[in-house]
């Protein structure tokens, strides 16, 4: 194509995307180095740097485009033609679905007041329109004629992390034994049996993961092999066959993987055959393309709207003081809008709440905080809004909504996965389920603390229970960094006036926290309250929180394993 005949705006967007994806790949390529050097802080900084890339590049491109266009920035015909020209430019790209999303992002930030528009944007294209590329070069294959031990040895040989193994011979024994116990007790190996392992290693936090599948019993059996790198060397940490655990590795509550890919749709297609519980948009999110994941989510949402007829309603649970939350019962998400006015004692501003959500987006979520997509100018069919919800929206977020023809226009909204609020779950679950849930509740708080997040408001209504019965924190308006808090005991009173004072007689700073007070509000269900207090007794001791603070301040990056400690081959090995 003759670039001289293409408007500079279109070329600028194309070059902006090229710059973004080039930088994305360069930062991703650094992950093996950080793993090899055990540079965990470097890994985290690199992750945050990659998270900022997209927004920074869109901003830079928008500024150049706006300068080119001047007063014609809202020329409908120009943008309609630009979309056509841009589509021609990217038609041969193997990452064109990402390039389409980049175009959408630029025009949304450039064209004043633009909502989703099929004529100006790539609304229905994406993954389903991608060319299907051969996948043979995507993975290593290990044939049926090899015995199990040989296959395992070859896998470990193919994935050389550049440092000595802790005990490779023992790793082989662990893996062989696990495969025999889990697979070969149920299926027999045949001449059709083959094993495939993705060549790209998935890095996150202090671990590296191999993703593979074995053809056995006339079906594909997926598996994940996590590796850790301790001071004594690299080691296989476990072998995961459980679909729920594999799904948890790619959870919406975890940070994105660092994994090299040159054809994103090809990698997503393979993952879709392995992590079958996940939707396409969730898989794009998990490998770091969260903006395109947002686009794919929106396409899935539009398809669901076309195929359903239920109404949007106020979400179940205790109404929040900061957010108005609603949902579509037939679709597993919630919509969260920042209220116009906050109920006492909340005193923050709308911008402060937005800043908390940005903080979560850049932080390691350690499997305990929900990922969020932020939308502006989000349109919903007015006929699908329940009258009770409309009353609630008018009363709480009126400044954020407009009605235009047959649509409700939402100026700003966060969208998250829907969960059962923990307080509601505890009202209806069995005694044994409640015991597990309150243990998970405490684990969630402590793992967030180890990731330098103090939840602030730790009432059970601010936590949700996932399909896998994990407890997740989702109310971010009061979160703070652990290292900014002052955990202390309450002073002991010296006289009757202090004992019976109607308000605290001692000074309390804004960042003071008294863990002994947690018992007053954490668990209301009587039959599991004492179990929780005993199981998580450290929660109520300031010194315990102070020890976590010290580890963080000393530069330690505390790893949260995304699978049970009991399945680790060497639980005594620290990283």
Catalytic residue numbers? 371
3-state secondary structure 451-477: CCEECCCCCHHHEEECCCCCEEECCCC
Q: Is 170 helix (H, G, I), strand (E, B) or coil?
A: helix
Residues in the chain: 575
Q: Is 82 helix (H, G, I), strand (E, B) or coil?
A: helix
Number of Cβ atoms within 10 Å of the Cβ of 416:
19
In degrees, rounded to 5, the angle at the alpha carbon of residue 159 between the alpha carbons of residues 156 and 165 is 60
On whether the CB atoms of residues 253 and 183 are closer than 8 A, the answer is: no
Sign of CA dihedral 372, 378, 383, 385: positive
Rounded Cα gap, residues 562 and 79, in angstroms: 45
Who contacts 339 (Cβ-Cβ below 8 Å, separation ≥6)? 321, 322, 323, 324, 396, 397
- The pair of structure tokens assigned to 141 is 């294959």
On the question of a cis peptide bond just before residue 322, with omega within 30 degrees of 0, the verdict is: no
Who contacts 146 (Cβ-Cβ below 8 Å, separation ≥6)? 154
Who contacts 307 (Cβ-Cβ below 8 Å, separation ≥6)? none
3-state secondary structure 210-250: EEEEEEECCEEEEEEEEEEEECCEEEECCCECCHHHHHHHC
What region does 24 belong to: left with phi over 0, alpha with psi -120 to 50, or beta? alpha
| Burial of residue 370 (number of CB atoms within 10 Å: 0-12, 13-18, 19+) | buried
On whether the CB atoms of residues 330 and 412 are closer than 8 A, the answer is: no
Distance set, CA 93 to CA 27, 244, 271, 569 (Å) = 21, 35, 21, 43
**Of the candidates 164, 165, 154, 162, which has an alpha carbon nearest to the alpha carbon of residue 195?**
154
């Amino acid at each position: 194509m003759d670039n001289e005949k293409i408007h500079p705006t279109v070329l600028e967007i194309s070059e902006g995307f090229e710059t973004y994806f080039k930088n994305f790949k360069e930062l991703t390529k650094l992950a093996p180095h950080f793993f090899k050097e055990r540079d965990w802080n470097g890994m985290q900084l690199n992750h945050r740097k990659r998270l900022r890339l997209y927004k920074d590049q869109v901003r830079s491109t928008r500024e150049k485009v706006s300068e080119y266009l001047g007063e014609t920035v809202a020329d409908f015909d120009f943008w309609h033609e630009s979309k056509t020209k841009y589509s021609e430019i990217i038609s041969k790209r193997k990452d064109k679905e990402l390039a389409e999303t980049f175009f959408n992002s630029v025009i949304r930030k450039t064209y004043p007041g633009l909502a989703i528009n099929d004529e100006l944007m790539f609304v229905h294209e994406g993954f389903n329109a991608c060319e299907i590329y051969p996948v043979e070069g995507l993975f290593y294959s290990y044939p049926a004629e090899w015995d199990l031990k040989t296959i395992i040895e070859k896998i470990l040989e193919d994935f050389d992390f550049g440092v000595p193994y802790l005990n490779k011979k023992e790793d082989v024994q662990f893996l062989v034994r696990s495969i025999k116990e889990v697979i070969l007790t149920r299926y027999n190996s045949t001449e059709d049996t083959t094993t495939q392992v993705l060549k790209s290693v998935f890095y996150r936090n202090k671990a590296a993961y191999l993703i593979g599948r074995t053809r056995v019993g006339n079906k594909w059996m997926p598996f994940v092999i996590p590796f850790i790198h301790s001071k004594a060397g690299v080691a296989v940490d476990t072998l995961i066959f459980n679909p729920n655990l594999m799904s948890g590795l790619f959870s919406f509550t975890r940070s994105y993987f660092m994994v090299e890919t040159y054809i994103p749709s090809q990698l997503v297609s393979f993952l879709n055959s392995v992590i079958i519980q996940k939707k396409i948009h969730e898989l794009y999110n998990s490998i770091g393309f969260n903006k395109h994941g947002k686009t794919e989510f929106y396409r899935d949402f539009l398809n669901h709207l076309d195929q359903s007829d239920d109404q949007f309603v106020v979400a179940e649970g205790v109404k929040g003081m900061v957010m108005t939350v609603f949902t579509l019962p037939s679709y597993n998400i919630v919509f969260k809008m920042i209220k116009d006015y906050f109920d006492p004692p909340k005193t923050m501003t709308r911008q402060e709440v937005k800043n908390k959500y940005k903080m979560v987006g850049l932080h390691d979520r350690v499997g305990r905080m929900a990922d969020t997509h932020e939308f502006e100018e989000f349109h919903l069919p007015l006929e699908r809004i329940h009258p009770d919800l409309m009353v609630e929206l008018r009363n709480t977020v009126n400044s954020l909504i407009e009605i235009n023809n047959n649509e409700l226009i939402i100026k700003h909204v966060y969208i998250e996965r829907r969960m059962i609020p923990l307080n509601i779950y505890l009202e209806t679950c069995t005694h044994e389920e409640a015991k597990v849930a309150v243990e998970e509740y405490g684990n969630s708080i402590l793992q967030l603390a180890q990731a330098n997040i103090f939840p602030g408001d730790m009432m059970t209504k601010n936590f949700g229970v996932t399909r896998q019965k994990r407890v997740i924190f989702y109310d971010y308006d009061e979160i703070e960094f652990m290292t900014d808090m002052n955990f202390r005991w309450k002073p002991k009173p010296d006289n009757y006036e202090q004992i019976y004072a109607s308000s605290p007689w001692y000074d309390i700073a804004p960042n003071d926290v008294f863990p002994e007070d947690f018992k007053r509000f954490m668990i209301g269900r009587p039959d599991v309250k004492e179990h929780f207090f005993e199981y998580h007794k450290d929660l109520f001791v300031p010194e315990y929180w102070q020890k976590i603070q010290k580890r963080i301040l000393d530069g330690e990056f505390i790893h949260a394993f995304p699978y049970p400690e009991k399945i680790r081959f060497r639980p005594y090995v620290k990283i």
